[in-house]
A and B are shown apart, each in its own frame.
Chain A
Amino acid sequence: MSTTSHVEPKTVRQILGKVGLYSGLAILLLFLVFPIYYMFATSFKTPGEAYRLPPTLFPLRPTLDAYPYVIQQWSYWRTLLNTVFVAGTSAASATIIGGIAAYGFSRMQFAGKSVLYGLMIGTIAIPAMVTLGPIFIAYKNMNLLDTHVGLIAVFVAEGLPMAFLTLFSYFKAIPKDLDEAAYIDGTGFVGTFFRIILPLALPGFSVTFLLLLIGFWNEFLFAFTLTVTPEVRMLTVRLFEVPARENVNAVPYDLIAAGGVLILLPLVPLLIKVRDQLVEGILAGALKD
């Protein structure tokens, strides 16, 4: 008797708690995913359905017609290649340059260390917007506007603090005795870095690279301001140039949505493959200690 009276309210409360928990989860997932679902759904609609009143939740006659149109108007493959090249090169350079600096800070003593550390971290508080104007003017004078080299240089500078912080936390987790033993054994700095540190911190390097790649893939302010011609521009910038159909005045939501899918889709496999490491990397960059 006493056990049943003891157990029952608990199970009722447990069931209520479970219901609350899972309805909370359902609302959250709906809030997070619905806009993305609707982008996909709109991209599969026919032009007529895309501006139909009232709007439809599911495409009535799903079609891929919007995609070839956007791919052609945006010269998508060329733009994708630009994006992969600029974002990839920038991410790799920032990871290596920032990683080497982080290694130096985590292992070496030198005069002015705290000042230089402060410069590296403190510059995070200088917004990109504040640097944009003078960089634009300087690039105009140096003929670097509308070049990939110019864009990559800015991106590397923008990515350095993140690379530095993330890798710094990975290096701090590697026992110093390991590389000091290597030094004493006569392995030089370069040898130690590439033979001991790089393999041990490889997950850190790859996650830093991926986080930066995603950041540069999505960057807009510099990519928009510092480039002009379509042949040089990157994917995100294309979102500002709404593709249009001839003889149609209405805003082509199906084309805009398809464009959005084409920008997001290349990142999705990345996300599925490395989502746990990504979370770990985000945390390593943010939580320094």
Chain B
Amino acid sequence: MTTTTDALATASRMKLHLRINWLAYCVVLPAIVIRCGFTVVPMIQTILLSLTNKNLTNEGRFIGLTNYIRLASDPIFLSSLSFTLIYTFASVVLELVLGLIVAMLLMRVARFKLITNLAMLLPWVMAPLLAATVWKILYLEHGGILNQLLLALKIVSEPVHWLSDGNTARVSVTITTVWKNLSWVALIFMAALGALPRELYEAAQVDGATVLQRFRFITLPLLMPTIYLVLMFRGMAEVVTYEQIGGLTGGGPGSATTNLALYTYQRFFQELRYGYGSAVNVVLLLLTIAIGGFFAWRLYRSGR
């Protein structure tokens, strides 16, 4: 009896779908067409441009992989590639670890919800360029509040060259990025932690597992899908960072904090070398797809 009603329901459902099939495309296609028109089409154009020597004055002709061969011996490109990788790795790992710690901390604090919520959301709601502007004022070497506080607390003995020393500037831009994105990661982890089954922890406690063991053998394995999700979204975002670094250092000093996004923008929009700038862009594209694809695959695998 139940099987017949089920079958009937399925049949009517299928009929419904068949009847409205033409409608489905009307419903779904506008979004797909707009999205592809502004992403897939320009992406193909960028790839094609990267095979030409087009610039502002020259219409450009096909030159094969010449741009890419030149990239391989372009020192600023190579340094921006390595900085992109280091910066992405460092900021994502810091966001992941600190975000998890912050989430576990906030899960245990029942009070000051309003203040904590607002404090968490404020950096998140700020424009990346605004975050850079604010931190640039903090990072001032002479007359900057950060150096002033560190000197007064005797943590450092002389002013830190936040933005004028190459290696320090690389750390400084990473700190700003972590500050900006920590909240988002922590919020995701809080939701994931809130959904973990209580009984497992109670059972482990009865068995005498220590806090560390409980984290290592219960929390961490159950959090793996969330960790991959965070790595995927943050990795794809940090690898293309433009405003934070542009606003803080403009890629300097020298080209110490120039990443691929800044480098391609300089070549394309400042030097108007459309072909060469696009070749840098294709490298950026491949990197983003690699990061997104890898963690999407890990996420998919961990979900089963």
Contact = CB atoms under 8 A, between A and B. Distances in A.
B123 interface: yes
B293 A125 contact: yes
Contacts of B179: 31-32, 35
A214 B125 contact: yes
Interface string B163-187: 0000000000000000100111001
Nearest to B108: A21
Given A55-B143, A130-B46, A131-B46, A189 B134 contact: no
A22 B110 CA distance: 11
Given A38-B137, A101-B31, A105-B28, A28 B105 contact: yes
A189 B143 contact: no
A38 to B, nearest CB: 6
B70 interface: no
A189 B130 contact: no
B119 A256 contact: no
Interface residues of A, number: 90
Contact of B130 (A31, A239, A287): A239
A279 B106 CA distance: 14
B187 A283 contact: yes
A250 to B, nearest CB: 10
B257 to A, nearest CB: 16
A149 B79 CA distance: 38
A189 to B, nearest CB: 6
A15 interface: no
A25 B105 contact: yes
**Interface SS majority for chain A:** helix
Contacts of B14: 109
Nearest to B136: A256
Interface in A116-162: 116, 119-120, 123-138, 153-154, 156-158, 160-161
A286 interface: yes
B303 A289 contact: yes
A16 interface: no
Nearest to B16: A183
Contacts of A21: 105, 108-109
B145 A38 contact: yes
Most chain-B CB neighbours within 10 Å: which of A28, A153, A184, A225? A28
B261 to A, nearest CB: 5
B133 A260 contact: yes
A275 interface: yes
Nearest to A25: B109
A197 to B, nearest CB: 12
Given A123-B35, A126-B285, A221 B242 contact: yes
B42 interface: yes
Contacts of A69: none
Contacts of B49: 133-134
B37 to A, nearest CB: 7
Contact of B34 (A116, A127, A156, A289): A156
Interface in A1-52: 21-22, 24-25, 28-29, 31-33, 35-36, 38-39, 42, 51-52
B138 A100 contact: no
A98 interface: yes
B129 interface: yes
Most chain-B CB neighbours within 10 Å: which of A57, A138, A219, A221? A221
A157 B116 contact: no
B72 interface: no
A29 B38 contact: no
A267 interface: yes
A32 B120 contact: yes
B17 interface: yes
Contact of A103 (B27, B40, B239, B289): B27
Nearest to A158: B38
Contacts of B277: 133
Given A119-B32, A260-B133, A32 B123 contact: yes
Interface string A269-281: 0011001101100
Interface stretch (B61-69, B197-205, B263-271): B263-271
B233 A286 contact: yes
B135 interface: yes
16 contacts: A38-B134, A38-B145, A53-B142, A55-B144, A101-B27, A101-B31, A125-B292, A126-B43, A164-B31, A180-B16, A221-B243, A225-B269, A240-B129, A260-B134, A282-B184, A287-B191
For the complex of A and B, 9 pairs with smallest distance between CB atoms? A157-B38, A218-B127, A101-B31, A104-B27, A134-B45, A134-B42, A131-B42, A110-B24, A125-B292
Interface of B: 12-14, 16-17, 20-21, 23-25, 27-32, 34-43, 45-46, 49, 102, 105-106, 108-109, 112, 115-123, 125-131, 133-135, 137-138, 140, 142-145, 148, 179, 182-184, 187-188, 191-192, 226, 229, 233, 236, 239-240, 242-243, 247, 261, 264-265, 268-269, 274, 277-278, 281-282, 284-285, 288-289, 292-293, 303
